[in-house]
Amino acid sequence: MIRTGLFAALVLSLNAHAAPKPADTIYRNGYIYTVDAKDSVQQALAIRAGRIVYVGDDDGAQAYAGKKTETIDLQGRMLMPGLIDGHMHPQSGGSRLLNCSLNYEPLTVAQFQSRIQACLDNDKRSGPERWMIVVNWFQQGMQPDGVETTAAMLDALKTERPIIVRSSFGHSALLNSKGIKTAKIQRDTANPAGGVITRDAQGNATGLLEDAAQDLAMNLLPPLTVAENLSASKAALAAMRQQGITSFLDAYTDPETMTAFTALQKQGKLTARAHFAVLIDLDKGGTPHSTVAELLKQQKQFDQGPTKVAPSMQVRHAKLFMDGVIAAPAFTGAMLEPYLVNKGTQEKPSWQPGPHNGPPTYFTPESLRATLTELARAKIDPHVHVDGDRAVRETLDAIEDLRATPEGKRVRPALAHDEIVDPADYPRFARLDVTPVLSFQWGKPAPDTVEALRDYLGPQRYAVVQPQALLLNAGARVAYGSDWPVDPLDEWFALKVGVTRTAAPNAGQAYAGKLTAQPGMPRAEVLRAITLNAAYTLRQEKDTGSLEVGKLADLIVLDRNFFTIPAEDIANIKVLQTVVGGKVVYQSKHMR
């Protein structure tokens, strides 16, 4: 018995010092930024069966080298966790590649008309009743500042077709007169709940539809075919791979989108971990119970279970809208204080409180609390659109009540956008464990943050717009979401803005310098927002978001070092390789 025990102990001792099982891939000689608890930087990393088995120095990695191990010399380049986009609309982004696009550009009326006329002229196959769909309209960038956007702009075009021009923000659409007639919008057509039909002094529709009023036209558009949905999904994933996105949240999905992604997953063509948020909307007669029941029905159909090595799909989130956008001309953000109006002249302006502070929030306090309670019981995390400070306040109030309940303690609420937050509410994000999911690229001087906000908010409120560092400094766990296709999918430009709060060099003198006196975010916090913090909102932080032993090998290689280059150069970073679950899904020709 003694000899047997000694022999067993000897075997265990020898095994403990035996060479580890060889890795499939070793990266060495790199700047490996881990995003671990210490933000440590290492030299080497080894992968086996889609997971990380070693992170450390080059000498230690050598023990994992076998006859079939691929060893990649990074030549000093930076390797980091894959990007996790915590709020985007990939199907919309992909499908917009199929439509006439204005490419988010500031345009004069003449340029606007010329671009759309060219699309009409190039589309020879469509008859007079088929809608012309125009996308990526930078509504706040129309020139000159304050130009009126009405159906008359589109009526000047040579066409008999109905036209809908969709704002890149997603909260406004412009119709021509044929579109207004086709949508049956008349003088006595009531504003739908959560939306506004913009009207002139005589009560006639101008063609501009805000928020839910867009549905009057959008519901008439021909749905994407199965083939078009697949094409949109493929295009979205291709764009993500090139950016270095290895996980994402579709922040407002539908069964058609999830069907397309399911098809790609079954074909082995899903190249990012896909999470989906189903809309909760009480405007059409639903109740908190019935709408959550519908969500759970879709979850049962499309959710593919726990996170695996190969990318799969999860349906664990609900999308709620509390308001629209705070920018002119929409003013559909719910504000604590009124928007300002110019009661003077253009030469001698006098900005004073106007007649309204935005619409009522799209959920009443009672219905929001009831809905959040139903979601908590169903173990679904709420992802809430809040743009104005009143929408933020009311949502935090409801979450505070939810946290006092047994089922409310485990939820992970996320508040998306948070373009303006009352300073009294900054510390509540940390105290209530609520994650603000922010689009960093909005924190720069641009038409939508200068002309469309500054005068209408007044100096005190304008000073705290896009409060990214302010929330961070108050202890919030800040996560990132691009909101693509509200903006072009350019994660590295967004991260640059997160650090600098400056526009692109070619934005023009009017948008030079920083947006307000607020500081930018530290570089490490910007990267943590788009990796580990975003992973937390997806309940995926134990598997992704940092490079640590046992985690999935979701990683990217960059062509330059995020931390050592000038801050403005962050926008120029290119991804050389994207790896998901140990599998290379994208590689640049410059990866050697």
Taking the CA atoms of residue 510, residue 516, residue 521 and residue 523 in that order, the dihedral angle to the nearest 10 degrees is: 30
| pLDDT at residue 261, as a whole number | 97
| pLDDT at residue 17, as a whole number | 57
| pLDDT at residue 6, as a whole number | 52
Instruction: Say which amino acid occupies 187.
Output: R
Distances (CA, A) of 6 to 14, 15, 17, 341, 526: 12, 14, 17, 87, 54
Q: How many CB atoms lie within 10 A of CB 429?
A: 25
| Cβ pair 167, 129 in contact under 8 A | no
| pLDDT at residue 283, as a whole number | 83
Nearest to 179 by CA among 137, 213, 143, 212: 213
Instruction: Say which amino acid occupies 370.
Output: A
Q: In whole angstroms, give the CA distance from residue 523 to residue 500.
A: 10
Q: In whole angstroms, give the CA distance from residue 93 to residue 569.
A: 26
Q: In whole angstroms, give the CA distance from residue 398 to residue 384.
A: 12
| 41 bridge partner residues | 33
Tell me: the pLDDT tens digits for 403-435? Answer: 999 999 999 999 999 999 999 999 999 999 999
Buried b (16+ CB within 10 A) or exposed e, 49-64: ebbbbbbbeeeebeeb
Where along the chain do its domains lie?
90-218
Tell me the pTM. 0.87
Contacts of 60 (CB under 8 A, 6+ apart): 44, 54
| pLDDT at residue 10, as a whole number | 47
| Cβ pair 122, 152 in contact under 8 A | no
Q: Which CATH class is domain 90-218?
A: alpha beta
Nearest to 327 by CA among 189, 187, 423, 211: 211
Tell me: the pLDDT tens digits for 123-172? Answer: 887 889 999 999 989 887 888 877 889 999 999 999 999 999 998 877 78
Q: In whole angstroms, give the CA distance from residue 590 to residue 588.
A: 5
| pLDDT at residue 136, as a whole number | 87
Tokens of 160: 């008999």
Tokens of 418: 């948070």
Please, where are the H alpha helices in 109-219? 109-122, 151-155, 177-182, 215-218
Nearest to 26 by CA among 60, 61, 76: 61
| Cβ pair 421, 391 in contact under 8 A | no
| pLDDT at residue 19, as a whole number | 79
Positions of the chain with pLDDT lower than 50, given as ranges = 1-4, 7-16
| pLDDT at residue 5, as a whole number | 52
- DSSP-derived letter for residue 190 is P
| 313 bridge partner residues | 274
Nearest to 82 by CA among 584, 583, 579: 579
Q: How many CB atoms lie within 10 A of CB 219?
A: 9
